[in-house]
Amino acid sequence: MTQQVRFDQDLIKRYDVSGPRYTSYPTAVQFHEGFDTVAYEMIAAASNAELIPRPLSLYVHLPFCHSLCYYCGCTKKITRHPEHGAVYLEHLLREVQMQGRLFDRDRMVDQLHFGGGTPTFFDDAQLTQLMEHLRDAFTLQPSAEREFSIELDPRTVDPQRLETLSSLGFNRISLGVQDFDPAVQQAVNRIQSKQETLALIDYSRDLGFESISLDLIYGLPLQTVESFDKTLDTVLDARPDRLAVYNYAHMPQLFRAQRMINEEDVPTPATKLQLMELTIKRLIDAGYVFIGMDHFALPDDELTLAQREGKLQRNFQGYSTHKECDLVGLGVSSIGKIGDCYAQNLKTIPTWQGAVHAGELPIWRGVTLGTEDRLRRSIIESIMCHGELRYGDFEQRYGIEFEEHFTPEVQRLDPLEQDGLIELEAGGFTVTPAGRLLLRNIAMLFDEYLSRSEQPQRFSRVI
């Protein structure tokens, strides 16, 4: 994908509509409750019976946090009571056992991710117990090839905790920073010192963590171009391997926590665009590869290599490696992807715990992809991950004549070319430097459900 990015404010404003982030296709809106535990057990069995069964990736959702960040739109529970976490963990261990029985033991877990909430809400003994159960139920990759990561809230981690996480087998960490500016931190109720965060980064390098990822957010209250520039100075000095820089979408009508934010402190759309431009420019100038959407990585990072080798994928964590794995979701509301199916666990802690307590897999809903879905998923992934589409690739794989199969979609590419988002060539197109910021808009053309839907969509805005 081209590393050049061209900012055209008018174009960006014109294309700033609501749209999916394509962490799955079809998106979660298409998941339905007809896909139940029986369907899930069947696809798990079928995935074991493949000629060469795929390795596994596990996502473990740990949804508790000690305090509320006012910008938060995640599924989480704020509590100061450790016993809530203990009850949750007890059920999670049972789910791990149930899920583990469904997958053959010769299917290695190459990738593991603990996400939140705040996974480090749980203490070392609890995380150790969880890891032991995962080892009992699945075959975890012992070699350095494994990619075992955990999201850390620097406010809940000290050097000794880092040592424990390393000894448990984690070799990657992702740190929530958002902004180093004290006034911004105060406005979003997330106060963490720069020194603490930088010390953790240094120590995790000493301990041999192979990849360190930082999350930032632009568009937070009280942020200015000057203040965020200083945050970027600090971040670039620390030189993490990966950066995810998210756009803050202020939607207090949807997310209660955001009602704590003073509307007047939220940067204007024009400032947000400047913040985005500043971030992308500074990171690219500092040698980071702009992977796409909100992700950046150093040139030798696996994410960059996966993109170069055509092995990058979109999943529920954004851009990710290990496209070849089946993904097993564990914990409340988590989403898995097995073969050609997506499956999501029950969405609230009481319903999820209730199912596990009754000895049932806590599957809520899902979807099985048909041939047309798989075709469109590959197309959307090619646009989102590689910024191009080569019709011939799909003609061979799916036995179609691309321009005939997608006549209306191909016609709708013309205005995108006129606006400078893509460059049409014989047998395909390439996303231009201006189109790099509007990947979603281009991908949306091939979303069959979006074009059919008459319902207002509940997606965030493209910018």
Residues at the contact surface with ligand SF4, assessed by CB under 6 A:
65, 68-69, 72, 74, 76, 116-118, 153, 176
With 0-12 CB in 10 A as exposed, 13-18 as middle and 19+ as buried, what is 351?
middle
Looking at the Cβ atoms of 72 and 109, the one nearer to ligand SF4 is: 72
Report the nearest approach of ligand SF4 to the CB of residue 340 (Å).
31
Looking at the Cβ atoms of 178 and 279, the one nearer to ligand SF4 is: 178
Report the nearest approach of ligand SF4 to the CB of residue 261 (Å).
13
Looking at the Cβ atoms of 207 and 260, the one nearer to ligand SF4 is: 260
The residues facing 440 across adjacent strands are none
- Cβ neighbors of 41 (< 8 A, separation 6 or more) are 102, 361
Report the nearest approach of ligand SF4 to the CB of residue 74 (Å).
4
Q: Answer for the pair 290, 436: CB distance below 8 angstroms, yes or no.
A: yes
Looking at the Cβ atoms of 118 and 279, the one nearer to ligand SF4 is: 118
Looking at the Cβ atoms of 43 and 214, the one nearer to ligand SF4 is: 214
The residues facing 390 across adjacent strands are 428
Looking at the Cβ atoms of 68 and 298, the one nearer to ligand SF4 is: 68
Looking at the Cβ atoms of 256 and 308, the one nearer to ligand SF4 is: 256
Report the nearest approach of ligand SF4 to the CB of residue 63 (Å).
8
Least Cα distance to 226 among 181, 270, 192 occurs for 181
Looking at the Cβ atoms of 65 and 137, the one nearer to ligand SF4 is: 65
Looking at the Cβ atoms of 116 and 362, the one nearer to ligand SF4 is: 116
Is cis: bond before 26, omega within 30 of 0? Answer: yes
Q: Answer for the pair 392, 427: CB distance below 8 angstroms, yes or no.
A: yes
Q: How many residues does the chain have?
A: 463
Report the nearest approach of ligand SF4 to the CB of residue 72 (Å).
3
Report the nearest approach of ligand SF4 to the CB of residue 173 (Å).
15
Report the nearest approach of ligand SF4 to the CB of residue 138 (Å).
26
What is the distance between the alpha carbons of residues 81 and 203, in angstroms, rounded to a whole number?
A: 29
Least Cα distance to 174 among 106, 111, 231, 118 occurs for 118
Report the nearest approach of ligand SF4 to the CB of residue 161 (Å).
16
Is cis: bond before 117, omega within 30 of 0? Answer: yes
Looking at the Cβ atoms of 76 and 295, the one nearer to ligand SF4 is: 76
Report the nearest approach of ligand SF4 to the CB of residue 35 (Å).
27
Looking at the Cβ atoms of 26 and 116, the one nearer to ligand SF4 is: 116
β-pairing, 341-345 with 335-338? antiparallel
Looking at the Cβ atoms of 151 and 419, the one nearer to ligand SF4 is: 151
Least Cα distance to 438 among 6, 9, 12 occurs for 12
Report the nearest approach of ligand SF4 to the CB of residue 68 (Å).
5
Q: Rounded to 5 degrees, what angle do the CA atoms 431, 433, 434 make? A: 90
Report the nearest approach of ligand SF4 to the CB of residue 110 (Å).
26
Report the nearest approach of ligand SF4 to the CB of residue 320 (Å).
19
